[in-house]
Structure 1
């Protein structure tokens, strides 16, 4: 089974100069945990919900919130994104993806074409769902 058959194709992306308030709004209003960072349609980074939480004040939305806390949302995506990306091509097998997940300890894998333009993204959840839904299609 190829990763292209299980990847999420509905991608949400941000740009390097977007502010973290944009990222927070996306995470607050969707069920996504990863956003692709694009520059000229090419994948240059990834920002996760955990990256966001590490980068903003824990006092946001609390009674203790100050203007300094809200200012943490003015940081730019490029200041917090992960640039050390591990990607796969759409013709990679699910077993190749499992090996990459285990080797690099990443939480998602962007699927890109030869021009480094994103086509999809897979997570462990996608692999587990494929195993549950189509166990006979997975061969070693």
Structure 2
């Protein structure tokens, strides 16, 4: 089985200068945990919901929130993103993705074409879903085609 068979194809991307407020809004309204950072359609990095939580004040949206807390929302994506992400091509075997998850402290792998343009993303949850489907005999991973979105 190839990573293109299980990858999520509907991508949401951000740019270097997008604010953490924008990232927070995306994560609050979505059911995923990673955003791809692109410049000129080429992958530059990844921002996870954990990266965001580490960068924001814990007092945001609380009764003790101050101006200083709110100012952390003005930080930019390039200040918190992981650079030089580990990637795979669409035709890589799932075994390669598993090996990367086991040997690196990562929770997603961007899938890129030969021009380093993101075409999908695979998380360890995607792999678990695919194997659960195989074990249950359905063979379906419930991942459908989609489009890349720039927010």
Q: Is TM-score (shorter-chain normalized) higher than 0.5?
A: yes
- Please report the TM-score for the alignment, with normalisation by the length of structure 1: 0.95
Alignment match, 1:53:
53
Higher relative contact order (CA 8 A, sep 6+): 2
- Please report the TM-score for the alignment, with normalisation by the length of structure 2: 0.88
> Aligned partners of 2:12 and 2:43: how far apart in 1?
12
Name the SS of the counterpart of 2:11 in structure 1: coil
How many residue pairs are counted as aligned between the two chains? 137
Alignment match, 2:5:
5
> Aligned partners of 1:52 and 1:128: how far apart in 2?
25
In the TM superposition, residue 132 of structure 1 has moved relative to its aligned partner by 1.2
In the TM superposition, residue 37 of structure 1 has moved relative to its aligned partner by 0.2
Name the SS of the counterpart of 1:47 in structure 2: strand
Alignment map for 1:9-48 (pairs within 5 Å): 9-48=9-48
Gap regions ≥5 residues in structure 1: none
Gap regions ≥5 residues in structure 2: 140-151
